Amino acid sequence: MHPTSEHDLIRTTVRDFAEREIKPIARELDEKAEFSVELASMMGELGLFGMHIHEKYGGQGLDTLSYIIAVEELARVDSSQAVTLAAHNSLGINPIYKYGTETQKMKYLPQLCSGKALWGFGLTEPDAGSDSRGTKTHAFKEGKEWVINGSKIFITNASASISIGSTVQTVTSTKKSGKKEFTNFIVDKGTPGFRTSPIHGKMMWRASDTAELFFDDVRVTDENILGSVGQGSKIMLETLDSGRLSIAAIGLGLAQGAFEMALEYAKVRKQFGRPIAQFQVISFKLADMATKIELARALLYKACWLKDTGKPFGKEAAMSKLYCSEIAKEVADQALQIHGGYGLLKEFDIERFYRDQRILQIGEGTSEIQKIVIARHIGV
């Protein structure tokens, strides 16, 4: 559960990279709402994509904690780059790695680990958000082909210039009782009838790619099925269990970054003849922030340790996602308060952090849904 010297080295390496390459341009990318192909490629060269998957497929063969520390360090500087990595690793690569056939793995994983190609995870639909069983996108078999129709919304990494496809959950049959059978398909960009459209105007994660997906008589074969027919829901839910760890890591890293900014500012900003850090009210805010961050880190690392040691980790993943995203909100809010009026200006990074934290209580299962998951685990 405790980070080793190898984990420390990963932290230092990713922190150096984030400070050197991301920090100087993060504000501008946010302002222009621009996805950076160059940064994705650099993250690939650094070995961040597919960190947790076997070397045979182009990954690094590292443990979950290594990957989570990398996400945390990116989010300490910029959540947009952190989510590009987190969504690609947890939602894009992971289901293919875990459920793909050997042919699918050899075809997709090496390029997806390179940083030159991204993959989406298409679960959410306009009428199916928290309730993923409300999925309407459907696929039916016609001869040897499956024909997919429907749409998805809010899909990360699906419409960037380097996005090469998406995994998509479909309904493949509905029983008389109304019970649906879900099946996931791997759909390549360029497949006739498959179209993506970037979503503009986000308040947060503005330098990350978010898209709508449209399927209009998209024809694929059995070779595109991920897992087996009827396994769709299981794959998606298991994927979300792991994905929660990386969203938690974004919350933790964002909180850490916001705290450091507030601490530094409080030491130099003088009012009433002394640094504001010397007022007990401010120092207590900082003490509360530091305590929450330590608790969040301990909980998240425990969840990683459970996963890495093959133990059930669903409850702790949901708790980590809930707690880390909620403390990200509290810490960013208090850090902005410590900056006073300057915190509201775009030239201060805390303004971006304050906006970026807001998605964390919504994406990959809202805070309310995490509580439902936790309640189930504790036997309510």
Ligand X SMILES: Cc1cc2nc3c(=O)[nH]c(=O)nc-3n(C[C@H](O)[C@H](O)[C@H](O)COP(=O)(O)OP(=O)(O)OC[C@H]3O[C@@H](n4cnc5c(N)ncnc54)[C@H](O)[C@@H]3O)c2cc1C
Q: Under the rule (CB under 6 A), what is the footprint of ligand X?
A: 87, 91, 121-124, 129-130, 154-156, 205, 210, 359, 362-366, 368-369
DSSP 21: I
CB of 379 to ligand X, least distance (A): 18
Tokens standing for residue 95:
């289901």
Select the residue whose beta carbon is closest to ligand X and give its number: 129
Nearer to ligand X, 210 or 242 (CB): 210
CB of 369 to ligand X, least distance (A): 6
Nearer to ligand X, 259 or 353 (CB): 353
From the candidates 72, 212, 316, 364, give the one annotated as an active-site residue: 364
Helix (H) or strand (E) run with residue 305 in it: helix 280-308
CB of 251 to ligand X, least distance (A): 14
What is the residue whose two structure tokens read 């987190």? 86
Nearer to ligand X, 130 or 271 (CB): 130
Q: Is the dihedral of CA 306, 49, 6, 301 positive or negative?
A: negative
CB of 329 to ligand X, least distance (A): 14
* Burial category of 341 from C-beta neighbours within 10 Å (exposed 0-12, middle 13-18, buried 19 and up): exposed
Q: Is residue 326 annotated as a catalytic residue, yes or no? A: no
In the chain, how long is the greatest CA-to-CA distance?
A: 81
Nearer to ligand X, 210 or 325 (CB): 210
CB of 59 to ligand X, least distance (A): 20
SS3 186: strand
Q: Is the dihedral of CA 110, 53, 43, 184 positive or negative?
A: positive
Closest CA to 251 of 328, 198, 196: 328
DSSP 317: H
Residue pair 277/263 in contact by the 8 Å Cβ criterion: yes
Nearer to ligand X, 80 or 256 (CB): 80
So which residues are the catalytic ones? 364
